[in-house]
Chains A and B, each alone.
Chain A
Amino acid sequence: MTAGPLTPLYDSDEMELSFGPQHPSTHGVLRVMLKLDGEKILDAKPIIGYLHRGTEKLFETMAFPQCLPHTDRMDYVAAATNNQGFCVTMEKLLGVTIPPRAAYIRMILAELQRIASHLVWLATHAIDLGAITPFFYTFRERDAILDLFEEYCGARLTLNTMKIGGLPFELPAGWLERCSAYVDEFPSHIDEYEELLTNNRIWRQRTIGIGVVSPEDAVEWGLTGPPLRGSGIKWDIRKVFPYDRYDEIDFEVPVGTNGDTYDRYLVRMVEMRQSVRIIRQCLDRLPDGPIMARVPKVLRAQEGMVYASVEAPKGELGYFLVTTDKSTQPYRCHVRPPSFVNLQMLPEMVRGHLVADLVAVIGTLDIVLGEIDR
């Protein structure tokens, strides 16, 4: 070792800023190390792991059905789609086809969850950009969805609302009518949010041209969900690898053109309207019949590997399961969380922007640290 002056890491004009993990707008416990020149971001490095609970390792110690409640806690604002992802993967592994009624109810629950998740995104995204009022409007509508969930399965956040091979409960009496009334009313509320934001001069100035992702980059970095579609790539697991009964449903996949924050905003707003459309069709066509396929009491897998994914509100949520012969628990379970993959793009998106744009980009990526750290 030569004793000498330490090389300064930064020029004198540059400043290092630890943004988070206890920062109001890092959506949980994300920490971003920023290299700043004044307010300009020269570099950003997301640091994760503050919410690591070892979920994947836990899966290895539990029987398949016991894994389900743990999926709730990954993307904790969209528990139903997490359940759905795991159930779909398990059903693929076991070769089970679920009854149509179960599939339709699952789609209703998943789309309600998508709306709820997008409402949380909109609320926090808007509040990060200084618009505090949409938060209260969106949470009003989200509460109504949570009420529906509570009525169905007793929980509001960690739902554990699906079961491998179908559903745990039949719908309570009157639930369909209340759900129907909700989806009839909800589009008018989307109009309210749009009235506050879509054509707002300041909102447009804050979001147009911020965090632009080219279609090529979006594909190469493996973005999924609204961040991918905002860049103009029409890719939705519900369309390309339909699960449950999405192939029987008629809906559009909205795409943006510029790949900026504003386009991702518009994409999500249209997605909520499309979710309403899906729920409406499901409600109209809901078949009668059983809600559980015939599955053995103890689920045993054969040796093999399986990957299946669903379109979670934030992007492609995939489960990769490795099982040994006649095992009742996964040998290994890897989760592909959309937020984790989408977050990698953050440094590319904010480089050269200002600190104020960082919160806009974090907001537009719609990350949940629960599923990033797992």
Chain B
Amino acid sequence: MSEALLLYLVIPLVKIVVLLALLLLLVAYLTFFERKILAYLQVRIGPNRVGPRGWLQPVADGLKLFVKEDLIPTSAQRFVFLLAPCLIIVPALVVFAVVPFGEPFTMAGRTITPYLADVNIALLFVLAVSSIGVYGIILGGWSSNNKFSLMGGLRSAAQMISYEVPMGFAVIAVVLMSGSLSLVGIVEAQRAAHVWFVLPGILAFGIYFLCGVAETNRNPFDLPEAESELVGGFHTEYSGMKFAFFFLAEYANMLVVSSLATVMFFGGWLPPLPNLLAPLWASPALVWIPGVVWFAAKVAVFIVVYIWFRGTFPRYRFDQLMQIGWKWLIPLSLANVLAVGLGVLILRG
């Protein structure tokens, strides 16, 4: 086997397969954890029938959705109707190609990076790809030929577009601080700066996470699928595996937002206070902890916050949501860019 073949084909392919498998498994179990955590918030037990302590529940769910009859309404736009779930799940998974999960490590004399690609414009890539997802929702809502779906689709179009703007500005603040669009570069910049970017960029983080919740259509911004108003919102007419795609995409998007928050504001795979506490992390008791564990722990915190939101808040109304987006978040994020820019200018000279 030639060196080039190994480097450019075999290793990336193995990584893709591992990443995709892990991701789908993780996303499936995310639904389980959400149900469990929500259950404990709501003084009940949650799924505990399938397998030991309910651990096989996601498998059962997946199997059920897989063997379900694949219904397409007769009046639906067939092609678009089928396209929509693909349009939503693919971008949600593709984004993970550039998310760095940990530090490069050595295996069999070869340095292996625990991410697929370190693209120098990774942040732009993420923003660009993740905004494709909104097409899936709009087209799904429109092609179902159902008024509730249509309204869900329209709501989400308006919502995702208006929340992408402040999110972009929040990200700009990070780029200003790190001087890099590469996600690996952003983590390294935080190591070099001796501080997680959440401290100087607390406002940017707040805006980013709020927009992230809105982007992923989660409570309290879950208007596009508000079941008490729009039945199922844009996926009212979807069933079986196509519904599962929408479902998986929602959870994958939660992971995307959480991973990016971890990378941009919480030092990615770095342990807390990597420089100040360097002797501690290098001590024999802790040195074995790989970066991936830190990364996963931080992401998990965000996921729990997501679920916590869902268990606590009522839902905003459509016009209120727009108001928050345009009247508060966008001006605030613009001011934040200005402030961070000035700060960087002064500190760096």
Interface residues of A, Cβ cutoff 8 Å to B: 15, 17, 23-25, 39, 126-133, 135-137, 140, 196-197, 200, 202-203, 205-206, 354-359
Q: Within B111-155, which residues are at the interface with A (CB < 8 Å)? A: 147-148, 151, 155
Across the interface, A130 reaches (CB within 8 A) one of B41, B148, B155, B222, namely B222
Tell me which residues across on chain B come within 8 A of A354, comparing CB atoms. Answer: 317-319
Q: Within the complex, what minimum Cβ distance (angstroms) separates B232 from chain A?
A: 9
Residue pairs across A and B with Cβ atoms less than 8 A apart, 14 shown, are A23-B231, A39-B151, A127-B228, A129-B314, A130-B220, A130-B315, A133-B312, A136-B44, A200-B313, A202-B316, A206-B315, A356-B226, A356-B229, A356-B315
> Would you list which residues of chain B between 31 and 67 have a CB under 8 Å from chain A?
38, 41-44
Residue of A nearest to B312 (CB): A133
Contact A130–B313 (Cβ < 8 Å): yes
Chain B binding surface, main DSSP class: helix
> Could you say which of A132, A137, A205 contacts B43, with CB atoms under 8 Å apart?
A137
Nearest-neighbor residue (CB-CB) of A200 within chain B: B314
Query: Quick one: given A127-B228, A356-B229, are A133 and B42 in contact (CB under 8 Å)?
Result: yes
In contact, B317 and A356 (Cβ under 8 angstroms): yes
Contacts of A358 on B, CB cut-off 8 Å?
229
Interface residues of B (CB under 8 A from A): 38, 41-44, 147-148, 151, 155, 219-220, 222-223, 226-231, 310-320
Docked complex Cα distance between A39 and B42 (Å):
32
Q: Which residues of A contact B38 (CB under 8 A)?
A: 132
* A359-B43 CB under 8 A given contacts A133-B311, A202-B313, A206-B314: no
Instruction: Name the contact of B314 in the complex, choosing from A25, A130, A355, A357 (C-beta under 8 A).
Output: A130
Bound-state CA distance A137–B42 (Å) is 7
B44 CB → nearest A CB, Å: 6
Q: Which of B148, B230, B311 is within 8 Å of A132, CB to CB?
A: B311
For the complex formed, measure the closest distance between the CB of A113 and the CB atoms of chain B, giving whole angstroms.
Answer: 23
Contact present for B317 and A206 (CB under 8 Å):
yes
Q: How far is the CA of A132 from the CA of B41 in the complex (A)?
A: 10
CB contacts (< 8 Å) of B226 on chain A: these are 130, 356
CA distance A17 to B152 in the complex (A): 14
- Asked if B151 and A129 sit within 8 Å, CB to CB, the answer is no
Give me the 10 closest cross-chain CB pairs, A-B, nearest first: A130-B315, A136-B42, A131-B314, A25-B228, A128-B228, A129-B314, A130-B314, A356-B317, A202-B314, A133-B311
Inter-chain contact A359/B314, CB cutoff 8 Å: no
Contact A203:B318 (CB < 8 A) given known A24-B231, A130-B219, A356-B226: no
Known: A127-B228, A128-B228, A355-B229. A196 touches B312 (CB 8 A): yes
Contact in complex: A132, B317 (CB < 8 Å): no
**Chain B residues whose CB sits within 8 angstroms of the CB of A196 once the complex forms:** 312
CB distance A359 to B313 under 8 Å? no
- A205 touching B320 in the complex, CB below 8 Å, given contacts A23-B231, A133-B41: yes
Which residue in B223, B227, B317 is a CB contact (below 8 Å) of A205? B317
Question: Nearest Cβ distance between residue A127 and chain B, in whole angstroms?
Answer: 6
By the criterion CB–CB under 8 Å, are B228 and A130 in contact? yes
The minimal Cβ–Cβ distance linking A361 to chain B, given in whole angstroms, is: 12
